[in-house]
Structure 1
Amino acid sequence: MIGDIEIRGLGVIDHAELPLGEGFTAITGETGAGKTMIVTALGLLLGGRAKPGTVRTGAPKAVVEGRWIVPADGEVAGAVADAGGAIETFGITEDALELGELLVTRQISATDGRSRAWLGGTSVPAATLADLGEQLVVVHGQSDQLRLRSEGAQRAALDAFGGIELLAVSERVADAWARERALQAQLAGLTAARDERVREAEALRTAIADIEPVEPKPGEDAELLQRIERLEHREEIRRLVGEAHALLRGGDESASEGVPAAAAQIEDARARVERAAARDSELESVSAALTDVLYGLDDAALRLSGYLDSLDLDGIGELDALNERLASLVDLTRRYGPALNDVIRTYDDAGMRLIELEGDDARLDELTDQAQTARELLESEAATLSELRRQAAKALGERVTAELTQLAMPDAVLTVDVQPTEHLGEHGGDRVAFQLRPHAGATPAPIQRGASGGELSRVMLALEVVLADANPVPTLVFDEVDAGVGGAAAIEIGRRLRRLAGHAQVIVVTHLAQVAAFATNHIQIEKSSDGEVTTSSIRSLTGDARVAEITRLLSGLRESESGRSHAEELLRLAEHETSA
C-alpha cells in the first residue's frame, strides 16, 4: 500500500504531504483546490506522461515522491532489485511477513517537460515505473486508466471469479497447450528435415558400399607407397647394396677399381697398431677399438648380404597388385578423405548414423501419435474451461448488474460475453468481453465505450467490489466515482467503497458527503490566494474539522446548523454500519 506522497511544485500545490495508509481514504476540497493534482501526482509515480504545464508557475521543477509499504521478499521487491533499486526493511507483521519501504520519485522540468524517475534510490526509465505500477495501483478515472481494458485482463478476472475449479482447469489447458505446441515443434522439425534425412541416408549407404569391400587399414596407404617405391627401384638398390658390400668385404666391384676392401684396410691398420703396442702399452686401447670396428664391419656386411639374397626373391609379380590396391585407396581418399583415416572414420560412423536416421522415421510416427493425443486432451480441457467460463460469466454479470442497480444505474446491465476463437491457445479457445448496456434500449458495448465518465467509474467500482475476493490488487484509486449521483445512491457508493477497503487500500477523490462519511481517513485540499497566486495545502481531518467539511459538502456552508446536524447524522450512520 501507499504510505504517503510528498508533492512539490505541482499545479496549484507548492508543497504538501499526503498521508495515506490502510483502509478507505477520501480526498475532498473546493472546486479548483487541486484534488485532481493528487491523481496527477500518483499517475506520475506510476510512469504516466509528464507535461510542462503541470509544473507550478514560477517553480523550476515539480517533484513527487511516494513511499510504498511492500513485502520485503515479494514480486515487487524482486522487480525493484532487477532494476537496480533497493527496499529498506523495517518490520514484521503478526503473520511473520517481513515488510519493506520502497521510495519512488518523479521529477519534471518546467522548461522542457523532461522528466527523471528513481526507483528504490536508483535512476530508471519512466517505463520501469509503469511496469511496476501495474502491480501496485489501479486508477479508475473518468477518462484514463482502466484496469480491465484489455481482453486478457477481462479473461483473467473472469477466471479468478470462477474459483478454484475454473483456475485448475485453466492451468491444465495451459499445460496441455504447451505440451501440444512442443510436440508439434518437434514434429515440424523432423518433417521439414525428412528429405534431407533421405538424402543423407542414401549417401551413407553409398559410402558403406564403396568402403566395405576395400577394407582400408590405418596407415596402409603410406606402407603401400613405401613398398612400391622399393619394388620400382629394385635394380638400383641391388647395385648400390652390392657395391657397399664389396667395399666392406671385397669383391669384383672393389677389385675392378683397385681399391682394397674396408675390412682389409682396417685389419692391416689393426695389425700395425698391435705391433706398435708391443712397444707402447698406451696403444692397446686403440688396437681394441679397431677390433670392435672390424666386428661392426663384419656385421654390416653380413646384413647387406642377407638383404641382397631377399631382394632376389622379393616382389615377383607383386608390383601390379600393389599399384591397383593403392589406386583403390586413393580413390576412396579423394571421395571420403582428405586422409585415409577420414575414410575409415566415415565407414565406422555411417552405421550408427543410419540407425539414428532410421530411428527418426519411427520417432516421426511416435511424435505424430503423441501430438494427436495432446491435441485431443487440449480440446477436451478447453471445452471444459469454456463451459465453466460461461457459468462464471452469467454469475458475474448478474452480481455486477445488481451492484449497478444500487449505484444509481437501475437500468444498466453488465454481460460477460464468452465466444469461441478460431484457434486454441494457452488460455483456451474463448474470447471474453465485458459488455455494458447503460440504459434500457441501448446497444451493449465494451465497458470502456458503453458508459460516460461517471458511469464508467461506478461500473468499475461494482466490478472491483464483486472481484475483490477473487482478484485483489493492493491499491485502488477512484477519481470522481460519484459523478452524477447523490442521495441514497451516494450512500451506497460509500458503503461499497468501505467494503472494498477491507480487501485493499482505497483512495477516492469525491465531492459527496455521503461518500466521504464512510472513509476511515479524510483528507482535505484547501486553496488560498493572495490575489496573484493560488496555493493549495493538504490536511488530515478528524473530529470537528471533519464534521465541518462534511457540512460544507452537504450545504456549501461550514457553519450551517441544519447542515451540521445532517453531517453528524451521516457520520453516525457510516460508523454504525461499519461497526455492525
Structure 2
Amino acid sequence: MIEQMTLRDLGVIAEATLPIGPGFTAITGETGAGKTMVVTGLGLLLGQRSDSGAVRAGAAQASVEGVWIVPPDGAVAERVREAGADVEPIDDTRAELIVGRIISSEGRSRAAVGGRAAPAAVLSELADDLVVVHGQSEQLRLRSSVAQRDALDRFGGADVAEALEAYRERFAAWERLDEQLTTLVADRDARAAEAEELRAAIAVIEAAAPRAGEDAELSQRAERLANAEALREAAALAHAALTAEDEAADATTLVGEARRALERAAGSDPELERLAEQVAEIGYRLVDVSASLAGYLADLDESGPHELAAVEERRAALAELVRAHGSLDEAIALLDTGSARLAELDDDGERVERLTREREEAASALDDAAAALTAARTAAATRLGKLVTAELHALAMPDAEVEVSVTPAAPSRSGRDDVAILLAPHPGSSPRPVSRSASGGELSRVMLAIEVVIAGVDAVPTFVFDEVDAGIGGAAAIEVGRRLARLAQTSQVIAVTHLAQVAAFANNHLSVVKASDGAVTASGVHQLTGAAREAEMARLLSGMPDSEAALTHARELLDLGTIAD
C-alpha cells in the first residue's frame, strides 16, 4: 500500500504531503482545487507518460514522491533489486519502498526507485503489482470487449489462468509452425531458383578442383616461366663460374687447393686449422650449389611456352572462381556449406509434408486447449454474473440483472472467446451489452460491483477511484460509499469524490484546499478530523460549510459511516 505521497509544484499544488495509510481514504475539495493532480501524481509514480503542462506555472520542475509499504521478499521487492536498488526493511513482513518522479518544464522526466535512478518503464512494471486505477477513462474502457474479458479472467482465478497459459503455449506452437509452413510454400519458387544456382556453382567448383593456395603458387610459376631466358642465362653463368672447363679457373678447384694448402700447415697453428675447416665448408657448399644450378637449368630446359600457356589457362579458371565467390578459399568452403544448403533446399517437399503434419497436430492440441479455456470462462461467467447482480441490488439498482456471455470469436492469443457483460437495468428489459445500455452512473456502479466481486478472489494492494461516483447521488451514493469501505477491508482504497455520501465511509479524509493571494493560486492538502471534517462534509452537501442544516446532515452521514465500520 502507499503510506504517503508528497507533491511539489504539480498543477496548482505548490507543496502538499498526503498521509494515506491503510483502509479507505477519501479526497475532496472545491472544483479547480487540484484533486485531479493527486491522481496525476499517482499516475506519474506508476510510470504513466509525463506532461510538462502539469508543472506549476513559474516553476522549473514538478516532483512526486511516494512511500510504499511492500513485502520484503515479494514480486515488487524482487523487481526493485533487479533494477539495482533495494527496499528498506521495517520488520519481517514489511519493507519501505520510496519511488520518485521529476518533470521539468521543458518536458524531461527522471524517475527514481529505492533511491536509484531508473527508467520510467520500471515504474510501470511495479504498477502491475501495486495499484489498479479507475477513472472515467477506465469506465469507458469497460465498454470494450477486451476489458470485459480481462475482468472475467481475473475473476476466474487459477482455473482460467492455467487454462489461458496452456492455450497460449499451444497457440504459440501452432503459430510458429504455421508461419514456417506459409513461408516455405510462399518461397518455394525462390528456393528452387536458389537450389539450381547453387547446384551450378558447386558443379563449376568441383570441375575446377582448386587447392588452397594454388592461385599464389601459379602466380609465382607464371612469373618464372615468363622470364625463363633471363633466368637461364644467370644460372648458366653462375654454374660455369663454379665448374669451368679450365680447372685452373674452376672456383671449386681453386677452393679445394686453398683447403689443402691450409691443411698442410694447420698442424703448426690452431687458428690456421680453424680457417682450413671454414674453407672446406665453403667447398662443400660450392659443390651443392653447383649441383642445384645444374638441376635448375635442366628444369628450365624442360619448361617451355606450352607450360606457360597451361599455367595461364589454369590461372584464368581460378580467377573465375575468385570473381564469383570473392576468394579461392570461399569457393572451396562453398563445397561444404553449399552441399548442406542444397540438401536442405532439395528437402522442401518432405519438409512441407512434415510441417503440414506437425501443424495439424498442433491445431488439434490448440482446439483442446481452447475448449478447456472456454469451459473455464463459461463457469466463471455464470458465477460472476450472479455476484455482480447481487452487488448492483445493494448499489440502488434493485431490479438490475447482469449476465456475462461467452461466445465464439476469431482465434487470438487470448483464446477463441468473445466476452460481453450484459445488463438488464429494469424488469422486462432484455439484457444488452453494458457498452450500449448503461448510463454513466450505471456504468460506474457496474464497474465498482465488478471490482468488489473480483477483489474477493484476486485482491489488489491498492485501488484508486477518480470520481467513481459520477452521475449518481442519494441512496446510490451511500451504497457506493459502503462498497468502497467493504473493498477497503482487503485492499487500500483511495477515492477522489465530490459526494459527502461517499466520503462519509472513509476512515481517512483528505481535503485539497485552494488559497489565492492575488498573484499565485496554490493548493495544499489537509487531513480532516472532527469539526473540520464536518464542515467539509457540509460544504459537499450544500456548498455552505457553516449551514446548521448541512452540518446536521453531515453528522448523520458520518454516524452512518461509523456504524458501517
Q: TM-score under structure 1 normalisation?
A: 0.70
Q: For residue 238 of structure 1, report the CA deviation from its aligned partner.
A: 8.3
Q: For residue 155 of structure 1, report the CA deviation from its aligned partner.
A: 1.6
Q: Which residue of 2 aligns with 1:43?
A: 40
Q: For residue 167 of structure 1, report the CA deviation from its aligned partner.
A: 1.8
Q: Quick check: 1:177 aligned with 2:171?
A: yes
Q: Which residue of 2 aligns with 1:89?
A: 88
Instruction: Give the match's secondary structure for 1:470.
Output: coil
Q: Quick check: 1:467 aligned with 2:454?
A: yes
Q: For residue 502 of structure 1, report the CA deviation from its aligned partner.
A: 2.1
Amino acid at match of 1:408: A
Q: Which residue of 2 aligns with 1:102?
A: 98
Q: Which residue of 1 aligns with 2:320?
A: 335
Alignment of 1:361-400 (within 5 A): 362-400=350-388
Q: Which residue of 1 aligns with 2:161?
A: 167
Structure 2: how far apart are the matches of 1:275 and 1:239? 36
Q: For residue 42 of structure 1, report the CA deviation from its aligned partner.
A: 2.6
Gaps of 5+ in 1: 576-580
Structure 2: how far apart are the matches of 1:333 and 1:41? 78
Tell which deviates more after alignment, 353-362 or 460-469: 353-362
Amino acid at match of 1:370: E
Amino acid at match of 1:40: M
Query: What is the aligned counterpart of 1:404 among 367, 381, 392?
Result: 392
Q: Which residue of 1 aligns with 2:490?
A: 503
Rg larger for: 1
Amino acid at match of 2:386: E
Provide, for residues 108-153 of structure 1, a one-character-per-residue CA deviation record: whole Å limited to 9, x for no partner: 97xx9x7977544678898987776565444444677667465433
Q: Which residue of 1 aligns with 2:421?
A: 434
Task: Say if 1:212 and 1:371 are closer, same or farther in 2 by CA, change over 3 A.
Answer: same
Task: Say if 1:538 and 1:239 are closer, same or farther in 2 by CA, change over 3 A.
Answer: closer
**CA contact 2:12–2:33 (8 Å) conserved in 1:** no
Structure 1: how far apart are the matches of 2:111 and 2:234? 94
Q: For residue 198 of structure 1, report the CA deviation from its aligned partner.
A: 3.1
Amino acid at match of 2:148: Q
Q: Which residue of 1 aligns with 2:445?
A: 458
**CA contact 2:33–2:523 (8 Å) conserved in 1:** no
Q: For residue 407 of structure 1, report the CA deviation from its aligned partner.
A: 1.2
Q: For residue 425 of structure 1, report the CA deviation from its aligned partner.
A: 1.6
Q: Which residue of 2 aligns with 1:20?
A: 20
**CA contact 2:212–2:329 (8 Å) conserved in 1:** yes
Structure 2: how far apart are the matches of 1:272 and 1:163? 111
Tell which deviates more after alignment, 502-511 or 544-553: 544-553
CA root-mean-square deviation: 5.6
Structure 1: how far apart are the matches of 2:215 and 2:528? 99
Task: Say if 1:91 and 1:261 are closer, same or farther in 2 by CA, change over 3 A.
Answer: same
Tell which deviates more after alignment, 239-248 or 169-178: 239-248
Q: Which residue of 2 aligns with 1:578?
A: none
Instruction: Give the match's secondary structure for 1:409.
Output: coil
Amino acid at match of 1:201: A
Instruction: Give the match's secondary structure for 2:453.
Output: helix
Q: For residue 233 of structure 1, report the CA deviation from its aligned partner.
A: 9.5
Task: Say if 1:250 and 1:153 are closer, same or farther in 2 by CA, change over 3 A.
Answer: same
Q: For residue 514 of structure 1, report the CA deviation from its aligned partner.
A: 5.9
Q: For residue 201 of structure 1, report the CA deviation from its aligned partner.
A: 3.5
Structure 1: how far apart are the matches of 2:423 and 2:329? 78
Task: Say if 1:358 and 1:55 are closer, same or farther in 2 by CA, change over 3 A.
Answer: closer
Identity, % of aligned pairs? 41
Structure 2: how far apart are the matches of 1:563 and 1:530? 33
Structure 2: how far apart are the matches of 1:368 and 1:55? 62
- The number of aligned residues is 550
Task: Say if 1:426 and 1:260 are closer, same or farther in 2 by CA, change over 3 A.
Answer: same
Amino acid at match of 2:322: G
Amino acid at match of 1:89: E
Task: Say if 1:482 and 1:199 are closer, same or farther in 2 by CA, change over 3 A.
Answer: closer
Q: Which residue of 2 aligns with 1:67?
A: 67
**CA contact 1:412–1:439 (8 Å) conserved in 2:** yes
Amino acid at match of 2:195: A
Gaps of 5+ in 2: none
Q: For residue 290 of structure 1, report the CA deviation from its aligned partner.
A: 7.0
Structure 1: how far apart are the matches of 2:184 and 2:22? 58
Task: Say if 1:83 and 1:438 are closer, same or farther in 2 by CA, change over 3 A.
Answer: farther
Structure 1: how far apart are the matches of 2:248 and 2:409? 111
Alignment of 1:108-147 (within 5 A): 119-120=112-113, 136-141=130-135
Q: For residue 46 of structure 1, report the CA deviation from its aligned partner.
A: 1.2
Task: Say if 1:395 and 1:192 are closer, same or farther in 2 by CA, change over 3 A.
Answer: same
Structure 2: how far apart are the matches of 1:393 and 1:471? 15
Instruction: Give the match's secondary structure for 2:489.
Output: coil
Provide, for residues 523-579 of structure 1, a one-character-per-residue CA deviation record: whole Å limited to 9, x for no partner: 56789999999988633436x88789889989996589986995687367424xxxx
Task: Say if 1:41 and 1:346 are closer, same or farther in 2 by CA, change over 3 A.
Answer: closer
Structure 1: how far apart are the matches of 2:232 and 2:104? 103
